[in-house]
Amino acid sequence: MNLTRAQKFQWYLEKGLAEGVHALPDPSVAGARNLVAALTARFEVLRTSIDHIDGEPRQVLHDTGDPLRVIDLDTPDELRPRMAALAEEFRLEQQGRPGALLARFFLLRTADSGWLGMVADNVAVDAAFHRVIEQETSRILGEPAGPDVLGGAEGIQPLAAAALEAGTRGTRDRERAAEMLRCHFATAPPRMHRRRPPGATAEGRYYRRVLEIPDADRLFAQLLAAGDTLPSALVLAAFTQLMCVRSDQDDCTVNVSMDNRHNRELRLTLCATAQRVPVTLSGAGRTLRAHAADVQRVLVDGYPVYGRYDPLDLIAERDGAQRRRGMCLTPDLAFNFVPPPQGWTSLLTGATRPLPVQDGTITGSTTGEVSYEYAASLSMRWADARAGRISIHGDSEALPPGDAAALLRGIELMLVRWADGRDSEPERIAGETGLSAPQRPGTAIRAGGRWIDVDPISRMLCERNDVVSAEVRTDPGDEARLIAYVMAAPGTNPRPDDLHAALLPAVGTGSLLVIPDRYEITDRTENACPSPPNLSSLPRRSTVSGPTAS
């Protein structure tokens, strides 16, 4: 059977992992094996692999899952680092490999305690479905499980979910979502940072910075009590405003992770359902209160269409718009918000402690990765029912770790002030926390509400044999558009379509954020690349226009 749309998203685009542990009343191997057998019998995706059949990835259901592995620990303090190591092992050995099972279970035990650990590909398990598995684990163990996430229903197994998506209603949902993507990519701004591929080594380039908030439940309870803005919208608004202030640009696009379990049958689907949705947000020149209201409206207006797209539609719409508009539309910012494990209602009634005044602790480390697709990905997760973590997974060449720490401190400050009934201006918050703007090269120009370094465009044009020199400027009649003034090599006749086509691959990779809208070609050849021609003295041979923005 085909993959569901959310599974396709994880298989083709996101490639994330889920992990978790559950304390066991019986740390015996037999007890853990019985628990895993019950879970894999209940949830087919825990014994599923993805195989390539006739050139397409397909779900393949197996009779059993991976055998339980037993890991002996000396002390409980080893639990978290050992799980991190097991997750990395899974990523290297199992994730994304055709034929490999999508989940692996572990019994981690000391002399008198035990935990069931799970690592799973997000093709199988995302944060929302992990809560379903946790609830079923508690039920099997006879523990209090809280309100039934599935509402007493049996749920829909992944194979059946894929069949529903291929039906009439599923096709209609896909068409509506594709139209929303089409509208988004027609007007979305380019990505915020150029993509710079790793060099000979990427050691230390990618990192995480984590803001630990011991009383996050109390903070978020006060955020809810302070108004009708959702905490997720507040965190996303603060993140995007501070990133726009740092880059001195008017707007940005963020890949927002959508928990789709509010959507009809998706609430009952027994596998991952979340997908990231590209959302454009304009945060410049406004307070947090005004921006957060717009963020919430954008998110709410997209339901229930958000998250119902087919990832192949997203790729097609994005790539087509990139060619038409001449700009890279792959977001390099991402956002993920996991609700509190006890639910918002219980959080509001249970968080009665005074809100502490001390700052949360920021910790950090490098990840050891050799690549990462985002410049900065912000996540809100919970360590338990009280403590929360806001973290940034980043690329130091786009957002240095020190700036990531200042960004986290700025978000914390904006949230605390909101809980206290005060608004925030992002420019002032950036100044208070030391969030500094990166130094702009002298070849950067302002166009379309952002700074663009035009030197890489000129240099790439000059690599052609039929171009002697090139200069890129804003269009005198429209500051949002760029013109390339190009001097042709002797005996050549470069066409604007040729120049446009030569630059487009760099847009696709993200090494160029935008390329010129027009090309004006002249005959003089005295100057050498990359020095610009003296345009006022050049005889004009032709004025031509390249493909225009849609």
Q: Which residue has the higher pLDDT, 365 or 539?
A: 365
User: What homologous superfamily does CATH list for 444-545?
Assistant: ANL, C-terminal domain (3.30.300.30)
DSSP-assigned letters across all residues of 2-20:
BPPHHHHHIIIII--EEEE
Distance CA 234, CA 248 (A): 21
Instruction: Give 301's contacts (C-beta < 8 A, 6+ positions apart).
Output: none
Structure confidence at residue 263 (pLDDT): 65
Q: What are the two backbone dihedrals, phi and then psi, of residue 253, each rounded to the nearest 5 degrees?
A: -110, 135
Structure confidence at residue 353 (pLDDT): 64
Distance CA 441, CA 461 (A): 19
Query: Is it the case that residue 306 has pLDDT exceeding 80?
Result: no
Contact 44, 270 (CB under 8 A): yes
Question: What band does 533 get if pLDDT is binned at 50, 70 and 90?
Answer: very low
Question: What band does 398 get if pLDDT is binned at 50, 70 and 90?
Answer: very high
Q: Which residue has the higher pLDDT, 40 or 349?
A: 40
Structure confidence at residue 369 (pLDDT): 79
- The number of residues making up the chain comes to 550
Of 64-73, 302-311, 362-371, the poorest mean pLDDT is in 302-311
Query: Among the residues of 394-546, which ranges form H helices?
Result: 401-419, 426-433, 455-462, 496-509
Distance CA 18, CA 372 (A): 17
Q: What are the two backbone dihedrals, phi and then psi, of residue 51, each rounded to the nearest 5 degrees?
A: -115, 150
CATH 3.30.300.30-classified regions of the chain: 444-545
Determine whether 353 is exposed, middle or buried from the number of CB atoms within 10 Å of its CB (0-12, 13-18, 19+): exposed
CATH of span 167-433? 3.30.559.30
Structure confidence at residue 86 (pLDDT): 94
- For the chain, the distance separating the N- and C-terminal CA atoms, rounded to the nearest angstrom, is 38
Given the structure tokens 């569901």, which residue do they identify?
A: 4
Structure confidence at residue 514 (pLDDT): 96
Contact 217, 349 (CB under 8 A): no
CATH 3.30.559.30-classified regions of the chain: 167-433
Instruction: Tell me what percent of the residues of the chain surpass a pLDDT of 70.
Output: 91
Of 100-109, 131-140, 339-348, the poorest mean pLDDT is in 339-348
Instruction: Please name the helix (run of DSSP H) or strand (run of DSSP E) that holds residue 71, with its range, or none.
Output: strand 69-72
Q: Which residue has the higher pLDDT, 129 or 148?
A: 129
Structure confidence at residue 304 (pLDDT): 62
pTM recorded for the entire structure? 0.85
Distances 5 to 171, 329, 503 between C-alpha atoms, Å: 11, 21, 32
Question: What band does 84 get if pLDDT is binned at 50, 70 and 90?
Answer: confident
Reported as a single tens digit per residue, the pLDDT across 403-446 is 999 999 999 999 999 999 999 999 999 999 999 888 889 999 99
3-state SS, residue 239: helix
Task: Calculate mean pLDDT across residues 360-366.
Answer: 91
Reported as a single tens digit per residue, the pLDDT across 462-509 is 999 999 999 999 999 899 999 999 999 998 999 999 999 999 999 999
Contact 521, 496 (CB under 8 A): yes
Query: Is it the case that residue 114 has pLDDT exceeding 90?
Result: yes
Structure confidence at residue 439 (pLDDT): 86
Q: Which residue has the higher pLDDT, 192 or 128?
A: 192
Of 234-238, 297-301, 471-475, the poorest mean pLDDT is in 297-301
Structure confidence at residue 461 (pLDDT): 96
Q: Which residue has the higher pLDDT, 284 or 518?
A: 518
Structure confidence at residue 258 (pLDDT): 79
Task: Calculate mean pLDDT across residues 88-113.
Answer: 93
Reported as a single tens digit per residue, the pLDDT across 256-283 is 987 766 666 678 899 998 888 999 998 7
Distance CA 3, CA 550 (A): 33
Q: Which CATH fold topology does 5-156 show?
A: Chloramphenicol Acetyltransferase (3.30.559)
Return the bridge partners of 104, or none. Answer: 119
Question: What band does 300 get if pLDDT is binned at 50, 70 and 90?
Answer: confident
Query: Is it the case that residue 532 has pLDDT exceeding 50?
Result: no
Of 153-157, 202-206, 302-306, 452-456, the poorest mean pLDDT is in 302-306
